[in-house]
A and B are shown apart, each in its own frame.
Chain A
């Protein structure tokens, strides 16, 4: 028993205590930097239920998480399949593909904001030059703020999917493909009946992790919208929880938002696991 004590202490102090404290805080009316606090029970949760801003930010979080996760998955699997093939310069391309995931978020955001600026950015300049658009697209304005954020997030995080899928692809026995070829299976049939089933486990983990991470993503979203009034178009739940805590100074309300976010993710994860297991059983 003694040998697991350090692990228990670590889990207790780094996970259970902060989560427990956040739950406790969510039942209080507490100013963000004053010790005074008042027990309000479920008061913060009731307020949230009637808070239009909460529902709006929840919707934005769902849109952002679903769009970015879906696109990362499609592009990541496609890119991994390409990088799995044998061609000249493959090693260099594989290394380059990781680049967006390795650079710091702040650098990625600054560079992309610069590239997408409608006044002097390269992207609009090229689009105009090629004739794809007649007027610059205002990527950082109210109408396209979410679209541009999704695009940048997909660019930044797709390498994670590529690496995960590529690693699994390399372990699929080649005999399976050879046998399928002998049976006359076309490329699409081989992908559908061999590759995809073999990728199931890794895709399950990738979808789970990426959707949780995108739903709770703070840094990219915050930096993308910071310094712009249009930032409210991407005011997702983590941003709203931060604002309630540090600009409204309502630590209790902010904690309640964080707890709701946690519960939503827990519920989604449980449903996801359940569906996966049901399908696994059916396959078995």
Chain B
């Protein structure tokens, strides 16, 4: 009798619990910060929000950066996107142009808008409305082993040719085998896309003209492909198969002396994997990105995914409300401190806050942050595949990136195809892609 009573009670409680959970509006957020400590902070923020909003359940999911666009588009194709998500700025513009997003001017105004760093205030605008607010800006950086360059009496490279020469000089061979490469770079498609845009900017080039026609046969692109051929000779032979994190590992464990496409989060790997006595900015220093033969200024890639909110999402308004909560300093600063040299503040007031500055890692690796802020100030930083801010008005950059045409162009060239031929082949493919989507007249 007692057992039956207990069973009935348990069933009633379980049913009541399930009903309670079903009443809650579930808000799903996809974001690209997958490091455990960042996810923990985001979950803490979600729990704090839920305390004051008992009718809402915030589910934060971490997605690998390189997978984001594919997963978002697959989810959209299946008709089941999240309520809000990170995206590349070009993804945000592409989605906004397709009418998939809810404007987030209310979110920008709540921060408030004039507190956002000027360079990133208009990261994702379409038809006069804001469709994305960046969670945190960061710049790609060039990292080199200061001690190794000094030991060989080498100067920090300034130009593309310098980079190849220094990389060659830094290579170390022992017993007929290479024990250290001069330079490491990732062959991950997303990063080759990033590299093409970034290097082209340093070479004074562009990917599209004012009419939106691809310009891959122009001189700066041909020079870029010639440069990739030279890089291929000094990079580890398997670089086209190396993932983003492999290159950090190569740098941290001494298998490479320079990393062209590094980011602030690399500091975490250096602190963890490099010998303790050299895990500091005196050994792992940052320098300006190298300049191409036709370029004048350095350039870097902006890593700043805007938060996008999907128009038809059931929890769109709740997602915006949660994001307003997320950007409050008491939640935002712990988030930034979870990867302190990579997650920089998009709010000017937070950057000036003593509470934000009170962090041992920020104190130690200040030179890395200064380098990134220098790029912000000089407008030397643009989103992936954007060589000019006007490119952000082109709603098809996402398709160009996803097609892998630029990656194929680089690999064709690296495999020995003449640069002009590789460029012409890619030009034709991009033209066909844009024409088939109605973005370009044949």
CB proximity of B27 to chain A, nearest CB, Å:
21
Q: Which residue of A lies closest to B414 (CB)?
A: A142
Residues of chain A within 8 A (CB-CB) of B239 are: 141
B258 at the binding interface (Cβ < 8 Å): no
Contact A140 B77 (CB under 8 A): no
Contact A247 B240 (CB under 8 A): no
A202 at the binding interface (Cβ < 8 Å): no
Q: Which residue of A lies closest to B74 (CB)?
A: A246
Give the CA-CA distance A230 to B415 in the complex, in Å: 11
A256 at the binding interface (Cβ < 8 Å): no
Contact A246 B77 (CB under 8 A): yes
Q: Which residue of B lies closest to A247 (CB)?
A: B402
Q: Which residue of B lies closest to A243 (CB)?
A: B404
Give the CA-CA distance A118 to B77 in the complex, in Å: 38
B238 at the binding interface (Cβ < 8 Å): yes
Q: Tell me which of B69, B187, B241 has the highest count of chain A C-beta atoms within 10 A of its own C-beta.
A: B241
Q: Among B73, B177, B237, B411, which residue has its beta carbon within 8 angstroms of that of A33?
A: B73
Contact A141 B238 (CB under 8 A): yes
Residues of chain B within 8 A (CB-CB) of A47 are: 436
Q: Which residue of B lies closest to A250 (CB)?
A: B436
Contact A33 B76 (CB under 8 A): yes
Contact A247 B73 (CB under 8 A): yes
Contact B241 A128 (CB under 8 A): no
Q: Among A128, A138, A248, which residue has its beta carbon within 8 angstroms of that of B402?
A: A248
Contact A119 B411 (CB under 8 A): no
A255 at the binding interface (Cβ < 8 Å): no
B266 at the binding interface (Cβ < 8 Å): no
A79 at the binding interface (Cβ < 8 Å): no
CB proximity of B414 to chain A, nearest CB, Å:
7
Contact A118 B236 (CB under 8 A): yes
Q: How many of A's residues come within 8 Å of B, CB to CB?
A: 33
Give the CA-CA distance A246 to B77 in the complex, in Å: 8
B252 at the binding interface (Cβ < 8 Å): no
Given contacts A138-B237, A142-B414, contact A249 B176 (CB under 8 A): no
Q: Among A32, A117, A141, which residue has its beta carbon within 8 angstroms of that of B237?
A: A141
CB proximity of B289 to chain A, nearest CB, Å:
20
Q: Majority SS of interface residues in chain A?
A: loop
Find residues 407-435 in chain B having any chain A CB closer than 8 Å to their own CB: 407-408, 410-411, 414-415, 429, 433
Contact B240 A230 (CB under 8 A): yes
Contact A128 B410 (CB under 8 A): no
Find residues 105-151 in chain A having any chain B CB closer than 8 Å to their own CB: 117-119, 128, 134-136, 138-142, 145
Residues of chain A within 8 A (CB-CB) of B98 are: 34
B255 at the binding interface (Cβ < 8 Å): yes
Q: Among B73, B250, B255, B411, which residue has its beta carbon within 8 angstroms of that of A229?
A: B411
Contact B241 A228 (CB under 8 A): yes
B66 at the binding interface (Cβ < 8 Å): yes
CB proximity of A10 to chain B, nearest CB, Å:
22
Contact B407 A246 (CB under 8 A): no
A65 at the binding interface (Cβ < 8 Å): no
Q: Tell me which of A145, A229, A230, A232 has the highest count of chain B C-beta atoms within 10 A of its own C-beta.
A: A229
Given contacts A246-B70, A248-B399, contact A33 B241 (CB under 8 A): no
Q: Among B73, B246, B255, B415, which residue has its beta carbon within 8 angstroms of that of A249?
A: B73
Contact A247 B241 (CB under 8 A): no
Contact B188 A228 (CB under 8 A): yes
Given contacts A227-B66, A228-B188, contact A140 B238 (CB under 8 A): yes
Residues of chain B within 8 A (CB-CB) of A238 are: none
Residues of chain A within 8 A (CB-CB) of B403 are: 243, 247-248
Q: Among A29, A135, A228, which residue has its beta carbon within 8 angstroms of that of B240?
A: A228
Instruction: Name 9 A/B residue pairs within 8 A (Cβ), A-sorted.
Output: A33-B76, A119-B255, A136-B238, A141-B239, A142-B415, A228-B240, A248-B399, A249-B73, A249-B437
* Interface residues, chain A, with chain B CB atoms under 8 Å away: 29, 32-34, 47, 53, 117-119, 128, 134-136, 138-142, 145, 227-232, 243, 245-251
Given contacts A33-B79, A119-B238, 7 further A-B contacts (CB under 8 A): A53-B429, A134-B176, A140-B238, A140-B242, A228-B242, A246-B74, A249-B402
